[in-house]
A = this chain, B = another copy of it.
Amino acid sequence: MATDLRDFSRSLPMALMRARERVMREFRPLLAEHDLSEQQWRTLRALAATQAPIEVAEIAERTFLLGPSVSRILGNLESRGLIERQTVATDQRRAAISLSAKGRALVERIAPESESRYADIEQRFGTERLAELYLLLDELALIEETTDRPTTRR
């Protein structure tokens, strides 16, 4: 007798994806207007959120992107004059990345519209429920690793 799978609608990854898709549907057209992919925007935001320049590996971690992806994205953003690199004096391998004036201006141009759409969502969904949702999502993201699960049965 086989174990049944939960119903498809009770798949946690699917539920998370559906919700994310719904939210992104509000933001994608705005990003498209500025020729930005989601990942490029995540990178710009990560840079906008920090005072001090940050290194490539740090960007990868904060944006949930892989090193090579960040590398390519930075190449693109640099060619558009949106970011700047500075080699770290004490370690020539490292690069300190920051928004250029143009990049900061772009983020600031997008911000009001982005915030307005976010406010729409918050208003329709409810401020309290949104706060509760953030709480649950943060806690879910922080649950601990299962200790040592074998990759194959033997």
Chain A facing B: main interface SS: helix
- Pick the 10 closest A-B CB pairs, nearest first: A2-B108, A16-B20, A3-B112, A8-B49, A18-B141, A19-B137, A15-B137, A19-B140, A133-B136, A22-B141
Query: How many Å lie between the Cα of A48 and that of B3 in the bound state?
Result: 13
Q: Is there contact, CB below 8 Å, between B20 and A20?
A: yes
Q: Is there contact, CB below 8 Å, between A143 and B121?
A: yes
Residues of B within 8 A of A35 (CB): none
Interface check A152, CB cutoff 8 A: yes
Q: Is there contact, CB below 8 Å, between A111 and B4?
A: yes
Q: Which of these, B23, B46, B48, B115, contacts A140 with CB under 8 Å?
A: B23
Tell me how far the C-beta of A28 lies from the nearest C-beta in chain B, rounded to whole angstroms.
10
Residues of B within 8 A of A111 (CB): 2-5
Interface check A72, CB cutoff 8 A: no
Q: Is there contact, CB below 8 Å, between B8 and A45?
A: yes
Q: Is there contact, CB below 8 Å, between B143 and A132?
A: no
Q: Is there contact, CB below 8 Å, between A18 and B49?
A: no
Q: Is there contact, CB below 8 Å, between A20 and B13?
A: yes
Q: Which of these, B18, B45, B141, B152, contacts A33 with CB under 8 Å?
A: B152
Residues of B within 8 A of A14 (CB): 42, 64
